[in-house]
Amino acid sequence: MIEPTLEEIAASSAATAAPTPRKAPHTSWRRVLSDSFRYFDPRREVRHPVMFVVWVFFVFLAVLTAFPRAFPDVAATYSAGYYFALTVILFLTLWFGHLAEAIAEARGRAQAESLRQIRSGMRARQLLPDQTTHWVPSDALHIGDLVVIEASEVVPLDGDVVHGAALIDESMMTGESAPAIRESGGDRTSVLGGTRIVQGTVTVRISASVGHSFLDRLIGLVENAGREPTPNELALGVLLASLTAVLLVVIVTFADLAGPSGVVTISVATILALFVALMPTTIGALLPAIGISGINRVAKANVIAKSGTAIEAAGDLDVLILDKTGTITVGNRLAVQFIPAPGVDPSELASAALLSSSLDD
């Protein structure tokens, strides 16, 4: 087989270098609903003081509604329909907050799953010592194995080109829109698992085992992105907890509304409902979801954020320094005009431009 030269590969790159499409992330709504109910666990609720208070009131009101005879002091103001309606409202207040958080986390899992689909069911053409090839699952490859990869095929694992040259679409891994030339015998031999061969045929020696490739590390970053509260979230959480404590003191004073006989003239359910209405429950319920959604939002732009703190810090940036421009440009740079220096023939300029660009990526 005659291998293409670098010039032949570069000459046809404009027509064949289409970016690899990524499947849209799929959100499992069944798991979202399951998680939204699982988050009622008090061990999880206690992490968010404001919503934990709502959870305590919900449990208390639910018990009061189900077993009113166990609380004779509220018998004078008890109304089954009224208490049941308030219990449902408190339940929905908690559940919608849990649902928002579950959706945000599910989208993060979907981003990781879309990356994992790149390698799902992938097979590779392994080169045997007798120079024959046979197809094997990519998970069966080991460090040092040789694989032959042709045009339109995906590199199974990280490795180094030992024979041939090819044009490789690395946009999904590096953000570089322009395909990169990878060849044997130079300083451009490294290839990444999950990238696609646009043109050419190469023999690659595997240099990373399954679970330790660049793609695996990328998936790990997406899945393990920090969910710890950011400094702003912590400060806001303290403020919300303080407001809740102040409101609790105010509501406790309603005990003075007891009549001469000691019977409360205003229902307990009404007091709890008033307290929940005054509490900043909306902000408290959505804080976790907002933090997770920030990480997922930048992931849609192919930016991996390891924590919400990094996203908040990025919002304060005025100047961004990059080590290369390929990650922010489309890679389709074209000269629109050639202006020769005084005394230089235009044909000589054209020849020099051709020679200087013959090996461009």
Spot the catalytic one: 323, 345, 360, 361.
323
Question: Among residues 154, 155, 150, 157, which one has the least CA distance to residue 133?
Answer: 150
205 pLDDT band, cuts 50/70/90, is very high
226 pLDDT more than 60:
no
Question: Among residues 134, 133, 137, which one has the least CA distance to residue 123?
Answer: 137
> Residue 181 pairs with which residues in a beta bridge?
167
160 pLDDT band, cuts 50/70/90, is very high
* Average pLDDT for 230-259: 71
264 pLDDT more than 70:
no
Residue 323: active-site member: yes
* Average pLDDT for 19-41: 71
85-125 per-position pLDDT tens digit: 888 988 988 898 888 878 877 776 776 777 677 666 688 88
Q: What is the percentage of the chain residues whose pLDDT exceeds 70?
A: 71
Q: What is the pLDDT of residue 260?
A: 55
Predicted TM-score of the model (pTM): 0.55
Question: Which stretch of 7-21, 60-74, 149-163, 178-192 has the lowest confidence by average pLDDT?
Answer: 7-21
Q: Which residue has the higher pLDDT, 116 or 333?
A: 116
String of DSSP letters for 162-196: EEEEEEEE-HHHH---S-EEEETTSS--EE-TT-E
> Residue 154 pairs with which residues in a beta bridge?
196
Question: Among residues 10, 326, 361, 300, which one has the least CA distance to residue 177?
Answer: 326
Q: What is the pLDDT of residue 4?
A: 41
* Average pLDDT for 288-304: 70
* Average pLDDT for 338-357: 87
What is the distance between the alpha carbons of residues 199 and 169, in angstroms, rounded to a whole number?
9
What is the distance between the alpha carbons of residues 305 and 271, in angstroms, rounded to a whole number?
43
Q: What is the pLDDT of residue 147?
A: 93
Question: Which stretch of 18-32, 164-178, 207-221 has the lowest confidence by average pLDDT?
Answer: 18-32
17 pLDDT more than 50:
no
Q: What is the pLDDT of residue 25?
A: 54
359 pLDDT more than 80:
no
5 pLDDT band, cuts 50/70/90, is very low
String of DSSP letters for 68-91: GGG-GGGGGG--HHHHHHHHHHHH
298 pLDDT more than 80:
no
Q: What are the structure tokens assigned to 263, written together?
A: 């019977």
162 pLDDT band, cuts 50/70/90, is very high
16 pLDDT more than 50:
no
Q: Which residue has the higher pLDDT, 294 or 197?
A: 197
Question: Among residues 32, 52, 60, which one has the least CA distance to residue 94?
Answer: 52
Instruction: Check: CB of residue 160 under 8 Å from CB of residue 207.
Output: yes
Mean pLDDT of the chain: 76
What is the distance between the alpha carbons of residues 200 and 211, in angstroms, rounded to a whole number?
27
148 pLDDT more than 60:
yes
